[in-house]
A = this chain, B = another copy of it.
Amino acid sequence: MVKPDCEKILGKLREQRSRITPQRRRVLEILCETDGHISASEIYDQVQAHNPQVNLSTIYRILEWLESAGVVTRSDLGEGHVIYELAARGMHHHLVCDRCGTIIEVGDDILDPLRKLLLERYGFQAEIKHLAIHGLCDSCRPRGG
């Protein structure tokens, strides 16, 4: 996957008459540098490392702004986990380990059999946007023994 061009996104946002502040630029950079998902507090921690004066509420406001601009997607995985990621990265879903908290990213095609089954049995055309599947990851699941 090509690393999204941060400056290109900033350019589009500027065209929408949004003000580009150092905070907004920094959050967007972090999102672009991150492979996959990231939480608000993780972004906050990264910003804090070099700019300790930045406030967590600003992070939330910037994320809300980026979401409304269609730049990032927000997924509430339940159990207090909310993750953000660049919309440009394409459709995928998350496996959440309820024991160790690991989050595994899976492609959208994993849902093809389910979609097919729902259509065959119920004539239901599923439009699953972002799914969080809870369970136990390979390290945490009980082994037959």
**Partner-B contacts on A (CB < 8 A):** 75-79, 95, 97-98, 104, 106, 110-111, 113-114, 117-118, 121-129, 132-138, 141-142
**A135 near B128: Cβ-Cβ < 8 Å:** yes
- Using known A-B contacts A77-B78, A78-B78, A129-B134, determine if residue A104 contacts B117 with beta carbons closer than 8 Å: no
What are the residues of chain B within 8 A of A137 when measuring CB–CB? 122-125
Contact of A95 among B118, B132, B134, B138 (CB under 8 A): B118
Query: In the complex, given contacts A77-B78, A128-B135, what are 15 additional A-B residue pairs having Cβ atoms less than 8 angstroms apart?
Result: A95-B118, A104-B122, A106-B118, A106-B121, A110-B118, A110-B121, A113-B114, A118-B133, A122-B138, A123-B141, A124-B138, A125-B136, A125-B137, A125-B142, A127-B136
